[in-house]
Amino acid sequence: MTKFDPSYEESVSSIHNRLFFRLFQAGNTLDRQTTKTLGITTVQWAVLGALSRPQASEGMSFSDLAEYLVVSRQSLDGVMKRLERDGHAHRITDTADRRAKNVVLTEKGRTFWEALQPKIYEFYRQSLEGFRFDDKVSLVYFLNRLNEGMGDVDLEKENVTTRTPGSSRATAHK
């Protein structure tokens, strides 16, 4: 099988499809399991984790937090409303720009986050039980590369070649 062989293209397409479907499944499993075992959603977990970092000890802007987490402002707003309702975080007006809001972890939120740590580490341990250390390092490396690649996707740029699944004919778009 060569890369000019139609069956090569089909098998590459098939592995790409399976890879992205497995990522989809892993994300959904993570969502389901964190809610069930930790009592918080993955986005709440990510927000609390981001705000608990030393570099965010004074909080961070709402926009920077949304960008850091790679979530929409609307999605983050809904999560923030729940975290504010529970007393884990709050928004304050930026002193330099009265239109901007900063997000700060409350003392209750910090205590909650610290109390979650043993469960989180046990979650990690059990999830990655079958992985060697080098496997984990490699997985982080490849997920970083995939994330960068997805960030660079531009289906509108010149000379994008598309293939119809099952077809060996490429169409270049200019």
pTM of the model: 0.79
Q: CA–CA distance from 69 to each of 49, 51, 73, 125, 135 (Å)?
A: 10, 11, 10, 23, 25
Domains of the chain, residue spans:
1-39, 41-151
d(CA 2, CA 31): 40
d(CA 50, CA 57): 10
**Model confidence at 12, in pLDDT bands (50, 70, 90)?**
confident
Domain 41-151 is of which CATH architecture? Orthogonal Bundle (1.10)
Mean pLDDT of 141-147: 96
**Model confidence at 11, in pLDDT bands (50, 70, 90)?**
confident
Q: Residue 103 in contact with residue 61, Cβ under 8 Å? A: yes
